[in-house]
Amino acid sequence: MIYHLSSQFAISRQKFSRESWTKLLRLGMFYGWQPMGTRVPSMTEIHGFDVDDWDGTYLTNDGQIVVAEDAFSLGTALERSLDDIPDFNLDFYLLDLSQVTPFEYFAGDEKTQLEEFIKFCRLGSFLILRI
């Protein structure tokens, strides 16, 4: 699954694999982000969802909305992680990426993606889409 994130107030997008997105969210929580939950997609994007049953998930790409306060909070938490993530690539040869910690995953070249996402969060609310 691919997550396409689209800012609601600027022409800016981010794209993450399922593995990257879940590790990014875990890293944010480790550094103090308390998820507020997403808002239900607009009525035109719901396509059969029961609005009353929306659980606020970040782990689907149904057009749900991450509000500005939540985006800022996530970006702030991730920024706190930067000093603890190595600037160099780590040598790990695990076939199962689920065994790689977020610190290892975002080390080296991947740290740039994390830094770009922090800037993206500062833009405010965004949609999680499946383009």
Q: Say what the pTM is.
A: 0.89
Res 109: pLDDT:
92
Per the structure, the count of domains in the chain is: 1
Structural domain containing residue 58: 2-126
- For residue 99, is pLDDT > 90? no
- For residue 106, is pLDDT > 70? yes
Q: Is residue 131 part of a domain?
A: no
- H, E, C per residue of the chain: CEEEEEECCCCCEEEEEHHHHHHHHHHHHHCCCCCCCCECCCHHHHCCCCHHHCCCCCCCCCCEEECHHHHHHHHHHHHHHHHHCCCCCCCCCCCCHHHCCHHHHCCHHHHHHHHHHHHHHCCCCEEEECC
Res 47: pLDDT:
60
- For residue 16, is pLDDT > 90? yes
Q: Is residue 101 part of a domain?
A: yes
